[in-house]
Structure 1
Amino acid sequence: MLFVEVILVLLGISLCLSEEDSQKTPFFRKDYKYFKEFNAFYKVHSLGKNWSDALTTCQNEGAELIVPSTKEEFDKILEYSQQYFLWIGAHDIFSEGVFITTQGKPLSEFYLKWKQGEPNNVNNNENCLIMEKKGYTDLPCTHIRKYVCKRSTFNLTQNEICETYDLDYTYSSDTDRCYKIHTTPLTWNQAFTSCISEESSLVTINSDAEAKILTKMFAQHPEKSLKGNFNKAEIHIGFNDLLSEGIYLSIDGMSLKESGYDNWSSGQPDNYQGKEHCGSMFRDGTLNDIECSARAMFVCEKTLTTMQNTPLKLSTLSKLPDEQ
């Protein structure tokens, strides 16, 4: 009898915990707002961009350029953004008059409300869409407009210890930080922007221990395993002398010595041909100056808001909240 009572108590605790988990607000990013009625997160970008750059920004943030699914969502986004004209993630770039979303779905599967007289493809140059109170309008994709990014909770991953949705970030107890190596090569400036879009920063080396972490990460991608024409011997690091020639500062404004690591490779920095103003690290952990336009792999790092001393927690929301 006692055994049965213990089992019932444990089942009761399990049910309570399950109920708490189901009611817990999912996490995506700190700069996105969650709307429970749409099971999604949203972010208003008040700095206008052309359609392609707006799309790229949303994708870099792990989201998508919004296409309202319902009239309720359409109205809510206009109210939330307090904007009159917003890019949406739909176009007819592939075939004139055939409007699809950036996921390749017909726009007709979503909320569809054309402004009177639209689409009209003025000068045969209007292939991207904006939303306004009166409906959708086609415009040249090069126009500058504000936009909203959206991330559904469906299949949303949770990397709790690294405080992100991105499972590619891994935690190091040596530095109490999380790291992600990007194997798609970018320029230094693009790498800097890419890390910012992930709510992290282009890595700055603060100790010998951190240098070892990076060299181990880099070693997992030998030069022979990398395809494409780019610098495979170095990774971009968060320092430069762009503000003052020869004075190398980390992206947070400190000298390399103040940052805790200034182990230059022999003969470096040399500002070869007067073109090297950005920072990199060789596979042996030593530093180098590199052309900012050079394409290379890079590492983003996350400084956590709380100290961590628990095992890595990873989970996936494979169902919509109302299905759990």
Structure 2
Amino acid sequence: MYQSVGDEASTMWQYRVFILSLVISASCKRVPFYRKDYVYLENFQAFYKLHEIAESWTAAFDVCESEDSHLFYPTDREEATVLQTLVNATAKNVTDVVLGLTDDFHLGEFITVHGKSTPFPLFVTADEPPPAGLESECVFLDFNKNYLRADCNQRLSFICKKVENLPPCPTIDNNYVYQNSTGKCYKVNSHKQTWQEAMSTCYNEGALLVIIDDRVEAEIVGRMLTHDVLYHAGIYRIRKGDDLFTVKGTRLDHNAFQLWYSYDKKDENNCGAVRRISDLAYYYTHGCDERREFVCEMKANC
């Protein structure tokens, strides 16, 4: 059936509105969750729980382990502020907490609950020799971020910490492959679809059609493709002759990096593709209604 230029422009405008709505939806931030009684602190990408009831070091260790977490100790100087943050947030009457540090192995230094040396030098007060007969010493942290030595049997409040152990790709779809050099996960979908159907499929998987941002990414994506096969990619135009846009809403010409299979022919069609040439992914344009395989990309977990 004959389609007028106005009809074509209207269709591509619908594509653009559809795409932008997908990008906005796909960019919604994930809210981390572990347990309702744990607080997530984004600065440290971990969950914390302040236990007000005082326990010995061993008992505190056991409580945290039972919650599938570990007895807190700062991994850097800034993380010592966690006690202040939790006390201020919960209004609990806690002035100091025992840390996941001990000299239980008598190695001449405090060791973390993970069996490693302290992540940074600790300036622990009361540096006099420990009392005679004391089996081991522990460290506690006060509200003003001072580190003090204590008998491990002394009962103190404590904090449990749960590190957010996320898989690189924010999906259970094992067909997505993580690439550390781009911080993205990619999937080649062999089920042939139109460009708009492919975009919708990527979106439903929490992804977008692939965009090549630099030569490293061109190499990574290129190695995933079969030679001389076109795959839908995340570039398009509203109507023939207009500028190309990425599915993230930016003009393609604003991207510093572009590899074109045939630069002279890039204005011939309205939807984008990638093609493997000498192990690099080159851009191409083709008809939006052509049914082809496609590549989805998603940002990896931080």
TM-score range, shorter chain: 0.3 to 0.5
